Amino acid sequence: MGRPGQLARNLAPQQTRYDVTVRETVSALVRAQRSTPGTLQHMASWVGV
């Protein structure tokens, strides 16, 4: 999730964190990967997935 995820968090943290599309996308990415990279895992945790 690297830079785009961090950029979204910096520019609009509340909108990013609670956006349904962001949550669904992060959930799908986490499910799709057996071993999630640290940055994706951190983003998933941050958005409550």
Q: What digits encode the pLDDT tens for the residues 12-27?
A: 888 888 899 989 998 8
Q: How many residues does the chain have?
A: 49
Residue 10 CB partners (closer than 8 Å, separation 6+) = none
Residue 42 has pLDDT above 90, yes or no: no
In which element (H, E) is residue 25 found?
A: helix 20-32
Q: What is the pLDDT of residue 5?
A: 73
Domain membership of residue 3 (yes or no) is yes
Q: What is the pLDDT of residue 24?
A: 92
In a domain, 14, yes or no: no
Residue 44 and residue 26 in contact, taking contact as beta carbons nearer than 8 Å = yes
Please give the Cα distance from 25 to 12 (Å, whole number): 17
Domain that holds residue 25: 1-7+20-49
- What is the number of structural domains in the chain? 1
Q: Would residue 13 count as lying in a domain?
A: no
